[in-house]
Amino acid sequence: MSTFKIQNGKFVYNDVPVRIISGSIHYCRVVPEYWRDRLEKLKNCGFNTVETYVAWNLHEPEEGKFNFEGIADIERFIKVAQELGLFVIVRPSPYICGEWEFGGLPAWLLKDKNMRLRCFYKPFLDCIDRYYDELMKRLVPLLCTNDGPIIGMQIENEYGSYGNDKKYLEYLRQGLIKRGVDVLLFTSDGPGDLMLQGGTITDVYKTVNFGSRVEESFNKLREYEKEGPLMCMEYWNGWFDHWGEKHHTRGGEEAAKVFEEMLKKDGSVNFYMFHGGTNFGFFNGANHSDIYQPTVTSYDYDCLLTEDGELTPKYHAVKDVIKKYHAFNEVSLSEKIKKVNYGEVILTEKVSIFDTLDSISKPIKSSYVKTMEECGQNYGFILYSTKVAGPRLDCKIDLSDMHDRAQVFVNKKYIGTVYRNDESKKIDVDFTEEINTLDILVENMGRINYGPKLKDFKGISENVRLDYQFHYDWDIYPIPLDKIENIRFDKNRKSSSKGIPMFYKGEFYAEEVGDTFALLDGFEKGVIFVNGFNIGRYWEIGPQKTLYVPAPIIKKGKNEVLIFELHKTDKEEMSFLDKPNLG
């Protein structure tokens, strides 16, 4: 049994004072085959601790059904860290933010439109209890008090930026304790009075999150954390990107200088991030201040390791600072991972979404439109189809209750697109036939992960109006793209691609396996799969131009690429490069 506690204003591990120098690596953003590689590089930089969030929606994708395998095998990740002699900080808060879909909360919570999030609301707490019963029985054996590497656990995440329900925070605290968590518990909040007053509770260790102004931030923390060591639980040494914005960068020397200021203040620190990784599949989140801002697929974060695990100048600058304050033994790194250019891939098969719709989705008949959540769907796309009597010219379709991006088709012809940020959510349509088919394909581009708009229903939440009239009688097709093997390609069918969402398929041969980067030059917007693995979203507006494909997804020999393109492509081919382009 080992102990980690606060004593005389310091962290003490087995009666020896220790300063925590930690880095964030989210197991769910890195393929399991690379966990050791990334953790070795953290250890080799002089860090003694790794910190990770725990994403509830990864572990309970359907209500009452749990997943702790593959990329969700958090126990294995922690054990690899232990094998390397690292401490582990776990942040299993029901909510994690982290630019992760819905801040880690499962989408199925929103089946109940009355659900209250992040407060003392029994239906919400009941869901947390069921989840924690499964999660904690896996984490408790890995606590340092059970000779594991976990030295600390977070109660809630930046709660003071959201609410002030102390009864809720205390419930979470007691829920950890009664399940056997007897390591240091803590909160983390921004370094302001409102946040620290709302997000902290008595007798629980308090930390702050910031990227600059060290003295100011630590002084504010000291007003609330009277006795414990000063700790920045999230040192933002880089930043993330939204679609349509510039790629964020921060100089390595400047980031290292701010880090050294913390060390001079005798502070402990957790780099957020040390290694960012990738928002594979549909797990990117979104922010919303004045407008909706979905996060890109890459979570490179411009931190110490690149998205594909390469050492950066920032890595070396930080390592030099650590050497000035702490002696450490470097470790041998695993064999360098190859980067491979597989060249062009010709897409030999295609089919429109309308021609394969019945093979990938079954309609839900409803008088009124329903959200994804009401249809039992978490991610992906949803298609609303109905009949409209005509002729009816200059009709305005009102999609005011749509999240996030809708493409409108009349009689299988593309009419236009409505985006959540558009000032007007109306689109002009002519219904020229006696009976017309209206199809509306809506994309969930990532639920909001931070702030007051957290409750983010997807699809169409209330109604569709044609001019001033509510329109009823719909066939609703959930399209989560979780069964892409059912897509029905027909080489003899001449599918039109003019503005119609299309599935494309091609193959490439790999003589050797290595990391690679997908370039979809000429494509507009969509999703790419490699060997059935959802790599993530692409969008021509950038900043991200290539998508990272880790080597474990590639097979020696024949490999399959599948692309769902929402609009059109100038050429039915794509490429795999040996270098990334994040903008």
At the fourth CATH level, which superfamily is domain 343-351+484-577? Galactose-binding domain-like (2.60.120.260)
**Interatomic CA distance for residues 565 and 418, integer angstroms:** 17
pLDDT tens digits, 176-235: 999 999 999 999 999 999 999 999 999 999 999 999 999 999 999 999 999 999 999 999
Mean pLDDT, residues 25-37 taken together? 98
pLDDT tens digits, 81-135: 999 999 999 999 899 999 999 999 999 999 999 999 999 999 999 999 999 999 9
Q: Which two tokens stand for residue 159?
A: 């709660």
DSSP 572: S
CA–CA distances in Å: residue 364 to residues 375, 386, 434: 8, 12, 25
Same CATH fold, 368-472 and 4-325? no
When computed from its CA atoms, the radius of gyration of the chain, rounded to whole angstroms, is 25
**What type of residue sits at position 461?**
S
Which CATH architecture group holds 368-472? Answer: Sandwich (2.60)
Tell me: pLDDT of 499 over 90: no
Structural contact between residues 91 and 153, judged by C-beta atoms closer than 8 angstroms: yes
- Smallest CA-to-CA distance from 224 within 251, 199, 246, 241 is with 199
- pLDDT of 572 reads 93
Strand partners, 53: 91
Cβ neighbours for 451, distance < 8 A, ≥ 6 positions apart:
161, 162, 287, 288, 289
Under the phi-then-psi rule, with left for phi > 0, alpha for psi from -120 to 50, and beta for the rest, what region is 147?
left
**Interatomic CA distance for residues 404 and 14, integer angstroms:** 52
**Interatomic CA distance for residues 280 and 113, integer angstroms:** 28
pLDDT tens digits, 363-418: 999 999 999 999 999 999 999 999 999 999 999 999 999 999 999 999 999 999 99
pLDDT tens digits, 250-286: 999 999 999 999 999 999 999 999 999 999 999 999 9
Strand partners, 187: 206
- pLDDT of 335 reads 85
Fold of 4-325: TIM Barrel (3.20.20)
- pLDDT of 495 reads 61
pTM of this prediction exceeds 0.75:
yes
Structural contact between residues 63 and 108, judged by C-beta atoms closer than 8 angstroms: yes
Cβ neighbours for 397, distance < 8 A, ≥ 6 positions apart:
408, 426, 427, 428, 429, 438, 464, 465, 466
Structural contact between residues 549 and 486, judged by C-beta atoms closer than 8 angstroms: no
DSSP 392-452: EEEEEEE-TTEESEEEEEETTEEEEEEETT-S--EEEEEE-SSEEEEEEEEE----B-SST
For the chain, which residues make up each domain, given as ranges? 4-325, 343-351+484-577, 368-472
**What type of residue sits at position 23?**
G
Q: Tell me what percent of the residues of the chain surpass a pLDDT of 90.
A: 96
- pLDDT of 190 reads 98
Q: Which two tokens stand for residue 126?
A: 């009941």
- pLDDT of 115 reads 97
- Smallest CA-to-CA distance from 303 within 239, 260, 246, 245 is with 239
pLDDT tens digits, 484-497: 999 999 766 566 66
- Smallest CA-to-CA distance from 337 within 558, 546, 555, 37 is with 37
- pLDDT of 493 reads 58
- pLDDT of 251 reads 96
**Interatomic CA distance for residues 377 and 374, integer angstroms:** 7
pLDDT tens digits, 140-150: 999 999 999 99
Structural contact between residues 80 and 30, judged by C-beta atoms closer than 8 angstroms: no
Tell me: pLDDT of 504 over 70: yes
Residues that are catalytic: 158, 234
Model confidence band, residue 547 (pLDDT cutoffs 50, 70, 90) = very high
DSSP 288: E
Structural contact between residues 574 and 538, judged by C-beta atoms closer than 8 angstroms: no
Q: What is the mean pLDDT of the chain?
A: 97
Q: Which helix (H) or strand (E) holds 547?
A: strand 546-549
